[in-house]
Structure 1
Amino acid sequence: MFEDQTKKPFIKKLLNHKIKFWAAVAAALIILIAGGASLYVKSALEPVNKNSEKAVNVYIPKGSTISTIAAKLKKQDLIKNEKVFIAYVKFKHAEGFQAGNFQLSQSMGPAELIEKLTSTSHVPAFKIIIPEGRQLSEIADIIAGQTNYSNKDIMKKLDDKGFINQLKKKYPKLITDDVLNKNIKHPLEGYLYPATYPFYDPQTKLETIIEAMIKQTDKVAGKYQSQMKGKNMSVHKTLTLASLIEEEATEKADRHKISSVFHNRLGKKMPLQTDPTVLYALGKHKNRVVYKDLEAKSPYNTYTNTGLPPGPIANAGETSWEAALNPDKTEYVYFLAKKNGEVVFTKTLKEHNKAKSKYITNGQSE
């Protein structure tokens, strides 16, 4: 058979029209799909709620990958799509993501989220502020107030011999056998340095919190190693004396003069007779110590025992450390605080009783 040659141009023309038609359809579909994808990506990169003013705390652990960060942000409803966020991070070549606690918001787009997450100025999950002159039980209350740990659990950990032995191995120059003296109430009393401690992990372990304070005490002790050696004073004795100065000092008090009184009394084998040790022995907070309190049977009672108490009675700031090691050269062996906070120093019992009668007994406050 022979083909009808007259039909070929028609078929060819028809095929060309079909090809052009389907090409146009395909092109249209591609444009529609691309446009749809573009709109989808654009939508996915918009803030979850641009009007939100609520702060959302997000903790990023160390070693987190972009994928785990994206998953966490999605879980806390801070981004719309994990994969789009990851793609955006890679497209922008963003790096340097930080570990820690961040305050983010649904009003933030990916660019602002990345800026926050790569910043080193993120906020801590919580802060623990330890003032000077605080006893261990008070510090336990402060820690408990900022964490989920109870005062009972904190005190148990602070008195745990296993934990203390771990600290001894890690900080051998600071934590010595002195803290295990049988007469000591709490081995780590006075060893938790007064300072502000930020923590970025909301689930920070109790051991880590305590050790941060021990580490700071060790750091301060390192500055005074040569002075302590020159004075033949151990870290424990220095901390103990510093705690007495801290507890006796007022804002207007000269700590170096108070230190001189304690040093002079120790040199003369006189009892230190400092009221804060009696209160520590009694385990009470009182505005005034009465004569009956002075009879408390305790190695911490410096009215009935000579020398330093077995250990610190509170923590002490660096000014008290420095004063403990650098007392003024005086002949004072007595001091008392007036009602306005000023401290009167005297050399003899007669002078002391006279000052006591003038400023305390008669209730004057000049």
Structure 2
Amino acid sequence: MKKLWLNWVVFTFLSVIVFLFWGINFNKKNYNQILEIDKKLPLKKSLEALPISENILFKIYVKIRKGGRDIKAGYYELSGDYSIKDIIDLLENGEYKMVKFTIPEGYSHEEIVSSLEKNKLIDRENLKKVLREKDFYYPTPDGNFEGYFYPETYFIPEGSSESDIVDIFLGEFLKKFPKERYTNKEEFYKMLILASIIEREAQVGDEKRLISSVFHNRLKIGMNLASDATVNYLYDYSKRKMYYKDLEIDSPYNTYKYKGLPPAPICNPDYLSIEAAFNPFDTEYLFFVAIGDGSHYFSRTYEEHMKFQKDKEKKR
């Protein structure tokens, strides 16, 4: 009886060991997420984003592995099947570590490049070389990729080359605006240029199609777009307020001096701005002016436009 009991204990012990070993090493689950290990937070808090964070085997294994002290902070891309051991190995070795990089709506190419450079993700000259040699579906006159670095938060694999980063940005753009949908490339480029102006002029998303209608109406009658944003682009958006002397600059981007669209986009617009360029509201508006709260006052005539501004000045 004693021998049977002992055999049962040994069998149970070995079964538990096998179960733990199998559960930690071979029981794989599918993951498709970005995991952030934030050094400012307790490790347990960061690991809560994992679906298996409450799994008892996972908790035991983390404790066995020095309580996770060797896990490196950063962003990790988990894509595929992983066991508990696979995940901890990955986090300790820093594999698939990502760098978080955000392109805000309306940033210019120069602003994006400066930010990439500041974050030590690219060498400016190498990036220029990559863009000069890059073949892209949509027009890039004289190698100008302004407008195609889609505003989004990206997770870039650590150690990515300039070519890799460009492919990530352009790949996201093509997801949003696939070739199959926009077969008229030249027409698309015109709308991209217009969208970039809408992006810089609009502070309220709901007004984008209204602002688009103003510019479409002006283009139809051969009226100058007269957009401060196109001129400020020439000053790298350093002007908080545009003065008459600033509008004297001679450039095809100066839409006060030259009719029609500027030669290329003036920033990288988001999806709503591009949709607004393609689908303006049907209005008779030809003018708009900032109210002061981010929104605009729209008018049909120059007289109405000027009257609003004079009334606005009187209220100050």
Q: TM-score, normalised by structure 2?
A: 0.70
In 2 relative to 1, CA 253–157 (structure 1 residues): closer, same or farther, beyond 3 Å? farther
Does residue 242 in structure 1 map to residue 195 in structure 2? yes
Give, in angstroms, the shift of residue 205 of structure 1: 0.7
Residues 1:287 and 1:147: Cα distance change in structure 2 (over 3 Å):
same
Find the counterpart in structure 2 of residue 139 from structure 1.
112
C-alpha contact (below 8 Å) 1:334/1:345 kept by paired residues: yes
Secondary structure at 1:271 match in 2? coil
Letter aligned with residue 141 of structure 2: V
Distance 1:212 1:141, change over 3 A: same
Equivalent position amino acid for 1:167 in 2: K
Determine whether 1:206 maps to 2:166: no
| 2:131 is the alignment partner of 1:164 | yes
* Greater relative contact order structure (CA < 8 Å, 6+ sep): 2
Q: How many matched pairs?
A: 252
- Within the candidate set 219, 236, 242, 1:283 is matched to 236
CA contact 1:252–1:342 (8 Å) conserved in 2: no
Structure 2 counterparts to residues 206-355 of structure 1, below 5 A: 206-222=162-178, 225-226=181-182, 229=184, 234-251=187-204, 253-355=206-308
Please tell me whether the aligned partners of residues 97 and 117 of structure 1 are also in contact (alpha carbons under 8 angstroms).
no
Partner of 1:114: 86
Bigger fraction of residues in strand: 2
* 1:221 to partner: Cα distance: 2.2
State the distance in 2 between where 1:349 and 1:205 align.
52
Counterpart residue type for residue 113 of structure 1: K
Amino acid at match of 1:309: P
8 Å contact from structure 2 (residues 98, 156) kept in 1: yes
Asked whether the equivalents of residues 133 and 246 of structure 1 are also in contact (C-alpha less than 8 Å), the reply is yes
Partner Cα separation in structure 2 for residue 358 and residue 298 of structure 1: 33
**Cα offset for 1:123?**
7.0
Deviation of 1:238 (Å): 1.6
Q: 1:339 to 1:204 in 2, by over 3 A?
A: same
CA distance in 2, matches of 1:253, 1:97: 42
> Comparing 278-287 with 258-267, which one deviates more in the overlay?
278-287
The unaligned stretches of length 5 or more in structure 2 are: 1-60
Counterparts of 1:224 and 1:340, CA distance in 2: 40
Question: What is the aligned-residue identity percentage?
Answer: 33
Query: Deviations along 1:228-259, whole A, 9 cap, x unmatched?
Result: 74xx9523212110000000001265111100
Structure 1 length-normalised TM: 0.61
User: Where does the alignment leave 5 or more consecutive residues of structure 1 unmatched?
Assistant: 1-44, 61-95, 99-110, 181-185
